[in-house]
Structure 1
Amino acid sequence: MKYSVDKKEQYVVFTPHEEKLDSFLSPKLKSELLTVHAEGYPNLVIDMSNVKYVDSSGLSALLVGNREFSKDGIFIISSPQEHVMKLIKISMLDKVFNIVDSIEEAAEAIFMHEIDGKEEEEEEEN
């Protein structure tokens, strides 16, 4: 599986350089997402701009990433192409995933998530 990882201070941008996320590539995607999480990054943006097709196993890999990163951070799908977005909606996963149109929007969502998390911590302390 071809991909790139861009590690920022608050989050990681994971960009698959594949047109299909199918049963052939999904195990590798799951593994890579779990590895990034294990490295201590709580927030991940998966840039789906290159992905034209996702099957059920690809969606399953995204759900694994969402579950892991949502424990202590946020998992965001950025720039899904039209066909991928249709499949996400048909599967009703648009209610599960955080989906944005660009990396910039994802960075903003992470910033807001971080602020909300700090406010909740302060309220718990009081």
Structure 2
Amino acid sequence: MQLSFQDGPQARLITVDNNRIDAAIAISFKDTMREMTADGPDRIVVDMSRVDFIDSSGLGAIVAALKQVPDGRSFELAGLSSTVKKVFSLTRMDTVFTIHADVASALDGGLANAS
């Protein structure tokens, strides 16, 4: 599971560097997200533009990541492919998450402090 993040004045941008979030990486995804969301800016934006497949385990891992974000902080998604967007729509998770068309529309300012 490859995740990276950058902090900016508006948010922490977490980039998913895998094309799949499925049963094979769901636990690793959830654990890494817990580490990356424990501190930092109050907004978290997850760039999912490289993800073209998600199964129920992957969806569960994303929901678990949302639930483990400390109170008072937002957890938003950006750049969902049409296939992934369909999964969120069919499961009505699109009503649970704030979803942006892309990272540019989610963020107003630049990013620094790559990790």
Q: TM-score range by the shorter chain?
A: 0.7 to 0.9
Q: Which runs of 5+ in 2 are unaligned?
A: 109-115
Q: Distance in 2 between matches of 1:42 and 1:57?
A: 27
Greater relative CO (CA pairs within 8 A, separation 6+): 2
One-letter amino acid of the structure 2 residue matched with residue 28 of structure 1: S
Shift in Å at residue 73 of structure 1? 1.3
Q: Distance in 1 between matches of 2:91 and 2:100?
A: 17
Deviates more, 1:63-72 or 1:30-39: 63-72
Cα distance per residue 1:68-90 (max 9 Å; x no partner): 33721111110000000001111
Q: Is the 8 A contact 1:43 1:69 kept in 2?
A: no
Shift in Å at residue 7 of structure 1? 1.7
Q: Which residue of 2 aligns with 1:34?
A: 34
Q: Does 1:46 align with 2:43?
A: no
Q: Which residue of 1 aligns with 2:67?
A: 67
TM norm structure 2: 0.84
Identity of aligned residues (%): 25
Cα distance per residue 1:10-69 (max 9 Å; x no partner): 421111111110011111111111112223443211101000000111111111222233
Question: What secondary structure sits across from 1:77 in the alignment?
Answer: strand
Structure showing greater radius of gyration is 1
Q: Distance in 2 between matches of 1:75 and 1:44?
A: 5
Q: Which residue of 2 aligns with 1:105?
A: 105
Q: Is the 8 A contact 1:76 1:97 kept in 2?
A: yes
Q: Which residue of 1 aligns with 2:80?
A: 80
TM norm structure 1: 0.78
Deviates more, 1:11-20 or 1:36-45: 36-45
More helix by share: 1
One-letter amino acid of the structure 2 residue matched with residue 96 of structure 1: V
Q: Is the 8 A contact 1:53 1:83 kept in 2?
A: yes
Question: What secondary structure sits across from 1:66 in the alignment?
Answer: helix
Q: Distance in 2 between matches of 1:7 and 1:29?
A: 19
Runs of 4+ in 1 over 6 A off after TM superposition: none
Q: Is the 8 A contact 1:42 1:69 kept in 2?
A: no
Q: Does 1:89 align with 2:89?
A: yes
